[in-house]
């Protein structure tokens, strides 16, 4: 994470309000020219289903749009029902697949969306 944050165009958003005063979630994005990529997003188990990932996506998509990104890409396992639902809910659409991309041999779904649309609450 520290290494990624040192890369130009990479930045993160951290959500407060987790257990014992810790963060409840975080997401990391990279913007290069007019494209952005969501590198990771996670919410601690005790804080899930409270709209935290949704809020992180809105914040980071707005930041990507402000930096000139026209498209925001991500990859997610076909086996990750929660994340697929989150991304579809936020307006991402499937644009491709990578076969047996993950260590468990599941395919990756490549999704993309317009950061301005995604950041619209
Ligand atoms: C995926 C993840 C980030 C979602 O975080 P979250 O804060 O719980 O998500 P939100 O509360 O913002 O959910 C927003 C919407 O996403 C969908 N969603 C989220 N979790 C879901 C679940 N377990 N099952 C079905 N839909 C889900 C719903 O549409 C939800 O809206 P709703 O609660 O009004 O129905 C979280 O489950 C997580 O950290 N998972 C482990 C890490 C991971 O898989 N990261 C993604 C890698 S690609």
For the segment 37-95, what is each residue's pLDDT rounded down to a tens digit?
Answer: 999 999 999 999 999 999 999 999 999 999 999 999 999 999 999 999 999 999 999 99
The pLDDT tens digits for 66-77 are 999 999 999 999
Q: Going by CA atoms, what residue is nearest to atom 5 of ligand 1?
A: 53
For the segment 16-23, the average pLDDT, to the nearest whole number, is 94
Question: Domain extents for the chain?
Answer: 2-118
For the chain, give the mean pLDDT: 96
Q: What per-residue confidence (pLDDT) applies to 111?
A: 98
Q: Ligand 1 centre and the CA of 114: distance in Å?
A: 20
User: Catalytic annotation on 35?
Assistant: no
User: Catalytic annotation on 75?
Assistant: yes
Q: What per-residue confidence (pLDDT) applies to 61?
A: 97
Q: Going by CA atoms, what residue is nearest to atom 4 of ligand 1?
A: 53
H-helix or E-strand containing 41?
strand 35-43
If we measure between CA atoms, which residue out of 83, 75, 82, 73 comes closest to residue 100? 75
Instruction: Say whether pLDDT at 17 is over 70.
Output: yes
Instruction: Say whether pLDDT at 1 is over 90.
Output: no
Class of domain 2-118: alpha beta
Using CA atoms, how far residue 60 sits from 14, 71, 97, in Å, is 10, 12, 24
Q: What per-residue confidence (pLDDT) applies to 13?
A: 96
The catalytic residue among 35, 59, 75, 101 is: 75
The residues, ordered by sequence, that sit 6+ positions from 3 with a Cβ below 8 Å of its Cβ are none
Q: What per-residue confidence (pLDDT) applies to 95?
A: 98
Confidence band for 121, pLDDT divided at 50, 70 and 90: low
Using CA atoms, how far residue 110 sits from 25, 58, 78, 115, in Å, is 22, 19, 10, 15
């Amino acid at each position: 994470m520290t290494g990624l944050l040192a890369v130009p165009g990479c930045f993160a958003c951290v959500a407060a309000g987790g257990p014992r005063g810790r963060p409840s979630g975080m997401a990391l994005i990279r913007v290069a020219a007019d494209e952005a990529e969501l590198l990771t997003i996670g919410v601690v188990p005790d804080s899930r289903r409270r709209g935290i990932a949704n809020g992180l996506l809105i914040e980071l998509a707005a930041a990507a749009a402000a930096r000139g990104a026209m498209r925001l890409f991500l990859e997610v396992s076909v086996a990750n029902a929660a994340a697929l639902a989150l991304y579809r809910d936020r307006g991402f659409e499937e644009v491709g697949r990578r076969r047996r991309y993950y260590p468990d041999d599941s395919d990756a779904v490549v999704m993309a969306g317009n950061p301005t649309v995604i950041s619209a609450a």
